[in-house]
A = this chain, B = another copy of it.
Amino acid sequence: MNLDKKISMAVIRRLPRYYRYLSDLLKLGITRISSKELSSRMGITASQIRQDLNCFGGFGQQGYGYNVEYLYKEIGNILGVNEAFKIIIIGAGNMGQALANYTNFEKRGFKLIGIFDINPNLIGKKIRDVEIMHLDSLDRFVAENQVDIAILCVPYENTPAVADKVARLGVKGLWNFSPMDLKLPYDVIIENVHLSDSLMVLGYRLNEMRKSQRNKS
């Protein structure tokens, strides 16, 4: 693996997609695949695939293509699916609870170890054996447990302050569900999930399709 070269975010963002497609191929019993065929399944060019995978050392053989299981495992390793990242959820409202119940993350190497809220009606309840604790006990919890990632499902107004607190406690990964581009003046990695943005893009594209259909008729 090439550790010297900085890999672009565009390439990194495609890795989980490769991982998904390879997982599907494995389920279908497909053991090897050419970059051309993978290309037509994924809707990206074969040269893009070769270029992407070359960032991590290649994995393909001229005339053979890719060994699906090998490539799946290697991309899994690159993504850290065997790392068992420890995650906590802050905010056990609707979205926090939905994510806490989402077992798919565990298959990808993310283990939920704590849930925090300030609502007294929620404290002490369990979601899939993980207790909802009061936010006041976050400091101690983070001091006593390795916490890699905090999922922020708190109200919009509270997000910056909660994020700041979590980052000061030393949690290095933040997954933010508030509709804002969270920024912090520390060495932390932040991924913002913008659900409303995605829905608005869908609405826009729907309108455009309807307009173009009206123009045709």
Q: What is the interface of chain A, defined by CB distance below 8 A to chain B?
A: 3, 12-13, 15-17, 19-20, 24, 42-43, 78-81, 83, 85, 93-95, 97-99, 101-102, 104-105, 108-110, 148-149, 172-173, 175, 179-181, 187, 189, 191, 193-207, 209-211, 213
Identify the 4 closest CB pairs spanning chains A and B, nearest first: A98-B98, A16-B197, A94-B98, A94-B101
Copies in the complex: 2
Given contacts A20-B181, A108-B200, 13 further A-B contacts (CB under 8 A): A13-B201, A15-B201, A16-B196, A80-B206, A97-B98, A102-B195, A104-B196, A105-B196, A148-B206, A149-B203, A172-B206, A175-B199, A191-B202
Inter-chain CA distance A195–B87, complex, in Å, is 15
Do B83 and A200 touch across chains, with their CB atoms under 8 A apart?
no
Do A109 and B203 touch across chains, with their CB atoms under 8 A apart?
yes
Given A94-B102, A172-B209, A195-B193, A204–B12 Cβ distance below 8 Å? yes
Inter-chain CA distance A149–B148, complex, in Å, is 36
> What chain B residues lie within 8 Å of A194 (beta carbons)?
16-17
> What chain B residues lie within 8 Å of A201 (beta carbons)?
12-13, 15-16, 191
> What chain B residues lie within 8 Å of A15 (beta carbons)?
200-201, 204
Inter-chain CA distance A200–B189, complex, in Å, is 12
Instruction: Give the contacting residue for A189; candidates B109, B197, B206; CB below 8 A.
Output: B206
> What chain B residues lie within 8 Å of A180 (beta carbons)?
20, 24
> What chain B residues lie within 8 Å of A193 (beta carbons)?
195, 198
